[in-house]
């Protein structure tokens, strides 16, 4: 079997198009421009790249983009004051604090200071609770992107066996909640799971979110299963070069799976697209307007 490649890049483009269409309608019919504020503390190079990319795509979708770049030694009080200001700014519908924060800042405290209605990353404890109890919430972008691709590929996910490898608050746990919400039978595997290959072999859907290059080989995959590879790992490619690989051994897995996301070009592009989708959703909810279809869980 040769797997269907789930093209996250192309899918993300369709999500961004839907967002842009809805943004245009909000402007034309209601005079509202959704606004996203991104806060970056410090000079982590990877975070700077993400923030630049988020700002660019926000503007391309027709939305207002605001960036706050603060020095690495910013005090917690200063950061909390900025969040308070953004919470009270009616032109801002989404607030994202780029993680990780410098060590002297308490991430939980900072994230939980964001108005949950503007928490477009879906990390606020209220949104975590709402998602866990199957209520309307802001859903973390990466798992939301994975869910969209799975729904698009399968139609209904009801009754499928899903294994999520990784139990982080950012990817693994919300991913498992979303799959449960779509009536999958869900197993969360992690670093202490006994006989991981056997657990993975039972799955119709495998979501790998570990951060270990190519740790899932093809012979762990049930023939015909759908594989969503969240991992982004940079490895040595020889001759002083590096390349990106996922948590799944793509070549062997794509010979067994029914469908698979590549790295790069799979889950990655969906994450920012879902951030834009969450910003429009937050804006619509704040104004009591109809939400765009197909852009939420
Ligand atoms: P994390 O380090 O917070 O969590 C990793 C999880 O993997 C942990 O729960 C741990 O229990 C589990 N784990 C570790 N070793 C394991 C093993 N040997 N067997 C089974 N489970 C094991 O990481 P994260 O933030 O969830 O990210 C995971 C990966 O996804 C990383 O590569 C990250 O770069 C990537 N990521 C990608 C996107 C995207 O946009 N595509 C977004 C977020 C994260």
Q: Is the pLDDT of residue 81 over 90?
A: yes
Q: Is 120 in contact with 273 (CB distance < 8 Å)?
A: no
User: What's the pLDDT at 91?
Assistant: 98
The model's pTM: 0.98
- At residue 170 the predicted structure's pLDDT band, cuts being 50, 70 and 90, is very high
Q: Is 285 in contact with 116 (CB distance < 8 Å)?
A: no
Residues near 93 by beta carbon (within 8 Å), at least 6 away in sequence: 34, 35, 36, 118, 279, 282, 283, 286
Residue nearest to atom 39 of ligand 1 (CA): 268
For residues 81-94, give the mean pLDDT.
98
User: What's the pLDDT at 82?
Assistant: 98
What's the mean per-residue pLDDT of the chain? 97
CATH 3.30.365.10 for domain 141-269: no
User: What's the pLDDT at 39?
Assistant: 98
User: What's the pLDDT at 161?
Assistant: 98
Instruction: Give Cα separations from 20 to 60, 206, 292 (angstroms).
Output: 8, 31, 11
Q: Is the pLDDT of residue 215 over 90?
A: yes
For residues 44-72, give the mean pLDDT.
96
Q: Give distance in angstroms: CA of 284 to centre of ligand 1.
A: 32
Q: Is the pLDDT of residue 146 over 80?
A: yes
CATH fold, domain 30-118, is Rossmann fold (3.40.50)
Per residue in 225-248, pLDDT tens? 999 999 999 999 999 999 999 999
Half-sphere exposure of 169 (CA within 13 A, CB side): 12
Active site residues: 54, 98, 121
Distance of CA 157 to the CA centre of its chain: 19
Question: How many CB atoms are located within 10 Å of the residue 170 CB?
Answer: 18
Q: Is the pLDDT of residue 1 over 80?
A: no
Q: Which residue in the block uniquely carries the two structure tokens 């006989």?
A: 195
- At residue 188 the predicted structure's pLDDT band, cuts being 50, 70 and 90, is very high
- At residue 124 the predicted structure's pLDDT band, cuts being 50, 70 and 90, is very high
User: What's the pLDDT at 11?
Assistant: 98
User: What's the pLDDT at 24?
Assistant: 98
Give ligand 1 pocket residues (Cβ under 6 A): 142, 165-168, 170-172, 189-191, 193, 196, 209-212, 230-233, 267-268, 271
User: What's the pLDDT at 275?
Assistant: 98
User: What's the pLDDT at 233?
Assistant: 97
Q: Which residues of 28-48 are buried (b: 16+ CB within 10 A; e: fewer)?
A: eeeebebbbbbbbbbebeebe
User: What's the pLDDT at 171?
Assistant: 98
For residues 261-267, give the mean pLDDT.
98
User: What's the pLDDT at 221?
Assistant: 98
Domain 30-118 shares a fold with domain 141-269: yes
Query: Percent of the chain beyond pLDDT 70?
Result: 100
Q: Which residue in the block uniquely carries the two structure tokens 């079997």?
A: 1
- Using a 10 angstrom Cβ sphere, with 0-12 exposed, 13-18 middle and 19 or more buried, the burial of residue 257 is buried
User: What's the pLDDT at 15?
Assistant: 98
Q: Which atom of ligand 1 has the smallest separation from the CA of 211? A: 32
Half-sphere exposure of 77 (CA within 13 A, CB side): 0
Domain spans of the chain, in order of start: 30-118, 141-269
Query: Percent of the chain beyond pLDDT 90?
Result: 100
Q: Is 30 in contact with 19 (CB distance < 8 Å)?
A: no
Instruction: Give the C-alpha separation, 229 to 226, whole Å.
Output: 10
* DSSP class of 186: E
Phi, psi of 289, deg, nearest 5 = -105, 160
Q: 124: closest CA among 133, 134, 132, 112?
A: 112
């Amino acid at each position: 079997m040769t797997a269907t490649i789930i093209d996250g890049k192309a899918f993300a483009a369709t999500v961004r198009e839907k967002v842009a269409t809805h943004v245009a309608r909000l402007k034309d019919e209601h005079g509202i421009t959704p606004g996203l504020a991104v806060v970056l503390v410090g000079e982590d190079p990877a975070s700077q790249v993400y923030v630049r990319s988020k700002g660019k795509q926000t503007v391309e979708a027709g939305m207002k983009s605001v960036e706050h770049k603060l020095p690495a030694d910013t005090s917690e009080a200063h950061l909390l004051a900025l969040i308070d200001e953004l919470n009270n700014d009616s032109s801002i519908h989404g607030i994202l604090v780029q993680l990780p924060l410098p060590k002297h800042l308490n991430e939980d405290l900072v994230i939980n200071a964001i108005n949950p209605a503007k928490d477009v990353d879906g990390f606020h404890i209220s949104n975590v609770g709402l998602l866990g109890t199957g209520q309307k919430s802001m859903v973390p972008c990466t798992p939301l992107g994975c869910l969209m691709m799975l729904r698009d590929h399968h139609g209904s996910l009801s009754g499928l066996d899903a294994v999520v490898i990784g139990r982080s608050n950012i990817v693994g746990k919300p991913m498992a909640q979303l799959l449960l919400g779509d009536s999958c039978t869900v197993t969360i595997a992690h670093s202490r799971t006994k006989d991981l290959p056997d657990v993975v072999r039972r799955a119709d859907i495998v979501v790998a979110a570990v951060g270990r290059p190519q740790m899932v080989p093809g012979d762990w995959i049930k023939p015909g299963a759908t594989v969503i590879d969240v991992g982004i790992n940079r490895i040595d490619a020889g001759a002083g070069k590096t390349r990106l690989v996922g948590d799944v051994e793509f070549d062997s897995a794509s010979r067994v799976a029914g469908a698979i996301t590549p790295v790069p070009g799979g889950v990655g592009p969906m994450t920012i697209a879902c951030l834009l989708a969450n910003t429009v959703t937050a804006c619509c909810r704040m104004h009591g307007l109809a939400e765009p279809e197909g852009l939420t869980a």
